[in-house]
Amino acid sequence: GRLAWPRSPGKKARQVTLRLLMACSSAAALRRTLSSFATSRLSLRAASHRHLSYSGSLLGTLYSSPGTPSPDTVHFYLEEAGITERVLVEKMSILSRSPANRSEEFLKMNPMGEVPALRLADGKVLTESLVICRYLDAQHTGGAGSPLYGESAAERAETDIWVARTETKYLTPLIWAARCGPLAKFFENRTPGYIHTVISDPMGEAAKTGLIWLEAQLADGRPFLCGERFTIADIRLVVNYKFLTNVHKPMRAQADEQPAFLKYVERVAARDGAAALASKTK
C-alpha cells in the first residue's frame, strides 16, 4: 500500500502528514499515530499488515531566511527539482537585533550560526547550501542524480567544475566586495574579525575581472554554464549575482560590455523555479 495526497489537499493536511513522517521512526508507529488523526484530510490506501511505504517521504526540516542568497539557492533548487512538499521550512528572522540564527538554541544545532541548515529525521544537521542541495538531489533520486547535479559521473564532474570556476573567479571576490562595502555595518558584529572595508575596492576589481572571463565563456551562445543542461551552478551564480549587485550596484554587469552574461541571467530568471521563488519572497 502507499500513502497518497488527496486530489486537492489543504495545506494543513499536508503539514500534518509531513510532521507525522518526521516524528514516526517506523511504519508501525506511523499506523498507530494516523489512527488518532482520523479527521484530518489524508488519504490512506490499503496497506499490508507487515509493511507501509510512502512514495514521497519527508527529506528534512530546512531552517531558512528566504530572500537571502544561500537560502534562496536551496529554495530555487527545491522548485526546479519539484520537491518543495518534501521539505518542511522553518523561517527565521536574521535581521533583528536578536537574530534567531544567533540564538543559543540554534547555535547548538549549527555552531556556524548561519542559514540554511537542514535537520534530518535522525537529528543530524547539514549546512552549506550546495551540500544541502547535493544531499537532497541524491535522496530524492535514489542516488541516481538529476540533471541539476548530473545523471552520470561525467555530468556531475562538469557541474562541479562550473561551481568551482564561478566561485573562485567571480563569486568569492563579489561577496567580499559587498560584505566589506555596503554590507559592512551589517556584518561587522555578526562576523567580527572578517570585515575590513579596505579590501572592498580590490575585491570589486577582482570580481570585474571574473565577470569579463564569464562573458567570454558565455559568448559562444550556450544557454547555460553546462551547455543545454541547467544546473545548480547556474542557480548559485544567478541568485548571488542578483542579490549582491542589488546591494552593491556598481558591480552590475553592463549591457555594452557583458551582453552575453546579461542574456544568460535573463534566461535563468525566466525559469519557473525563479518565478516561484520570487513570489514567495515578496
- Please, which pLDDT band fits residue 20 given cuts at 50, 70 and 90? low
Q: Cβ of 173: how many Cβ atoms within 10 Å?
A: 22
| AA letter at 46 | A
Mean pLDDT across 30-59: 40
Write out pLDDT tens, residues 115-146. Answer: 999 999 999 999 999 999 999 999 999 999 99
Q: Tell me, what's the pLDDT at 43?
A: 30
Q: Which residues of 174-197 are buried (b: 16+ CB within 10 A; e: fewer)?
A: bbbbbbbbbbeeeebebeeeebee
pLDDT at 76 > cutoff 60: yes
Q: Tell me, what's the pLDDT at 27?
A: 46
Above pLDDT 70, what percent of the chain? 79
- Rounded CA gap, 256 and 279, in Å? 30
Write out pLDDT tens, residues 79-111. Answer: 999 999 999 999 988 877 778 888 888 888 888
Q: List CB contacts of 22: < 8 A, sequence separation 6 or more.
A: 58, 61, 88, 121
CA distances from 196 to 121, 164, 216 (A): 40, 25, 31
Nearest C-alpha neighbor of 204 from the set 182, 176, 184: 176
Cell 547535493 belongs to 134
Q: Tell me, what's the pLDDT at 234?
A: 98
Mean pLDDT across 3-8: 38
> At residue 240, what are phi and psi to the nearest 5 degrees?
-70, -40
| AA letter at 272 | D
Write out pLDDT tens, residues 193-208. Answer: 999 999 999 999 999 9
Q: Cβ of 238: how many Cβ atoms within 10 Å?
A: 23
